[in-house]
């Protein structure tokens, strides 16, 4: 079952899922048996018989799957995931053929988005930042207000329009069939922001000492405390204003323009369009849109360093987890997932372990991530950073031998542990794994500790880094 999800995607694109939905219901539990045994059982339960070359079946592989009144289409999707086998119905036959995953990847569709940006009077507006949130795909509108984003892999995206003095605008775009999309936009003056900045300047303590204290907190929370953070620089700190509520002990940050960050550990220049930042004594919340740009390395040594650090940031990250989940390769990629009921009593035990099919459901044109309480994610191919263990409030499984008070490194680092929590029931993912409800989930543990300095773009691929 570990390779359950990739062929579900392939079948959607290439087999025309839904055109001839089969309603025959399957029942039964199969534990560690060859595929041909399952096929024989399906033939006995339905009016179909299987037609295939036995050489196509994976040699030595055993399969486990359970069905309870499951339509045969859905059952076959789950059963054949990761095998490279595709199926089709013809009269009373189910015909099996083989299609390597590599062939599927080559058929990935790309699309483009273009349009014109106007001001409130309908005149073309130049130098508007137009980008896909969290990616390296972006451009500025030209003197005629025109822009074009090209070679976008199929998927779900937030396209952002941003210009100083105007309200940011975001449109959701989902595309899987290639082609060209048109998205025009008329910018609106951000009068509320101008008024708010004026009020803030009256409220804030403008002493250099106080500002430096607030900035120190802000920088630590935005960039993080990792080694990458130590090599990252905020290039326009003068754009930041703060307010601090002494009674509630709450710090707010406001930006007059996008935060510009240079990451010399990974070779990215990041524009962070901060929407909100609120730091309380025991809680931190901030959000915004991010545009990545590649920095040109000065020599081969710097290029190799950046490629190495990018891979290190990617492996074990949420983006790596998400891709592994959809491909049905969590264990192969080093992940284990566990159900937990209480964040304060985090138990990572074998009997609580789940599989991809326990938390992810294929819905034809999207996926749904669904689980109760919390989901613990253990990454076994990289140890925790000692800086993480020395930081405040890190999460440790209670059955770990390394348990100790926050801020005190007991022994050696263990496997990285992160926690997911759904905020609105199940969460929809598009076919590329992007969360379609950005406020649908939250993270704790290692993923929450790693901040902007440890991010790579969502369109980053360690095998095809175009640095």
Is 1 a residue whose pLDDT tops 70?
Answer: no
Token digits of residue 291: 């545009």
- CA distance linking residue 85 with residue 225, whole number of Å: 46
Say which residue, 283 or 105, is predicted with more confidence: 283
Q: What is the pLDDT of residue 61?
A: 67
Q: How confident is the model at residue 127 (pLDDT cuts 50, 70, 90)?
A: very high
Is 398 a residue whose pLDDT tops 90?
Answer: no
Q: Which whole number is the average pLDDT over 281-300?
A: 91
pTM, two decimal places = 0.71
What tens digit of pLDDT does each residue of 190-212 get? 865 544 444 343 444 457 889 99
Q: Of 312, 304, 325, nearest to 429 (Cα)?
A: 325
Q: What is the pLDDT of residue 268?
A: 97
Residue 134 · residue 457 · CB < 8 Å: yes
Q: What is the pLDDT of residue 177?
A: 81
Is 23 a residue whose pLDDT tops 90?
Answer: no
Ordered structural domains, the chain, with CATH: 6-105 (3.55.50.30), 108-186 (2.60.40.1120), 191-286 (no CATH), 318-449 (no CATH)
Is 40 a residue whose pLDDT tops 60?
Answer: yes
What tens digit of pLDDT does each residue of 438-456 get? 678 889 889 999 999 999 9
Select the highest-mean-pLDDT range: 26-40, 260-274, 352-366: 260-274
Q: Of 109, 110, 115, 111, nearest to 128 (Cα)?
A: 115
Is 339 a residue whose pLDDT tops 60?
Answer: yes
- CA distance linking residue 221 with residue 283, whole number of Å: 11
Q: What is the pLDDT of residue 411?
A: 53
Is 337 a residue whose pLDDT tops 90?
Answer: yes
Token digits of residue 362: 């294929």
Is 401 a residue whose pLDDT tops 50?
Answer: no
Least confident segment among 105-109, 268-272, 276-280: 105-109
Say which residue, 111 or 53, is predicted with more confidence: 111
Q: Which whole number is the average pLDDT over 93-99?
A: 82
Select the highest-mean-pLDDT range: 24-33, 67-76, 355-364: 355-364
Q: What is the pLDDT of residue 294?
A: 95
Q: What is the mean pLDDT of the chain?
A: 83
Phi-psi region of 140 (alpha: psi -120 to 50; beta: other; left: phi over 0): beta
Q: What is the pLDDT of residue 457?
A: 95
Q: Which whole number is the average pLDDT over 126-134?
A: 96
Q: Which whole number is the average pLDDT over 230-259?
A: 93
């Amino acid at each position: 079952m570990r390779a359950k999800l990739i062929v579900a995607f392939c079948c959607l694109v290439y087999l025309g899922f839904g055109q001839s939905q089969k309603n025959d219901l399957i029942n039964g539990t199969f534990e560690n048996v060859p595929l041909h045994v399952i096929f024989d059982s399906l033939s006995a339960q339905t009016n179909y018989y299987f037609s295939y070359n036995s050489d196509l079946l994976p040699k030595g592989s055993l399969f486990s799957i359970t069905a309870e009144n499951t339509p045969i289409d859905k059952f076959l999707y789950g059963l054949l995931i990761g095998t490279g086998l595709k199926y089709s119905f013809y009269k009373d036959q189910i015909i099996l053929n083989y299609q390597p995953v590599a062939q599927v990847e080559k058929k990935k569709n790309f699309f483009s988005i273009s349009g014109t940006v106007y001001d409130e009077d309908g005149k073309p507006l130049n130098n508007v930042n137009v980008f896909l949130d969290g990616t390296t795909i972006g451009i500025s509108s030209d003197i005629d207000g025109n822009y074009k984003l090209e070679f976008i892999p199929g998927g779900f995206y937030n396209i952002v329009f941003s210009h100083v003095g105007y309200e940011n605008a975001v449109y959701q775009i989902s595309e899987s069939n290639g082609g060209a999309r048109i998205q025009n936009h008329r910018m609106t003056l951000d009068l509320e922001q101008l008024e708010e900045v004026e009020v803030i300047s009256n409220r804030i303590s403008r002493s250099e000492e106080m500002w430096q204290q607030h900035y120190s907190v802000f920088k630590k929370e935005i960039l993080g405390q990792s080694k990458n953070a130590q090599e990252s620089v905020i290039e326009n700190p003068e754009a930041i204003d703060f307010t601090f509520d002494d009674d509630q002990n709450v710090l707010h940050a406001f930006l007059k323009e996008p935060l510009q960050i240079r990451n010399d550990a990974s070779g990215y220049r990041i524009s962070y369009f901060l929407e909100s930042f609120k730091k309380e004594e025991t809680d931190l919340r901030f959000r915004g849109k991010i545009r990545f740009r590649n920095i040109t390395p000065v020599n081969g040594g710097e290029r190799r360093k950046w490629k190495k650090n990018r891979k290190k940031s990617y492996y074990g990250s949420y983006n790596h987890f998400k891709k592994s989940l959809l491909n049905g390769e969590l264990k192969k990629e080093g992940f284990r997932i566990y159900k937990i009921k209480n964040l304060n009593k985090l138990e990572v035990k074998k009997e609580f372990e789940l599989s991809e099919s326990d938390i992810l459901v294929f819905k034809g044109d999207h996926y749904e991530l669904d689980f109760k309480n919390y989901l613990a994610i253990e990454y076994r191919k990289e140890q925790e950073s000692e800086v993480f263990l020395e930081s405040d409030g890190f999460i440790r499984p209670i059955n770990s031998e390394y348990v100790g008070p926050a801020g005190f490194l007991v022994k050696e680092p263990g496997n990285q542990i992160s926690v997911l929590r759904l905020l609105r029931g199940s969460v929809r993912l598009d076919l590329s794994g992007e969360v379609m409800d950005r406020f649908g989930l939250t993270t704790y543990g290692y993923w929450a500790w790693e901040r902007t300095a440890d991010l790579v773009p969502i369109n980053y691929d360690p095998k095809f880094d175009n640095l």
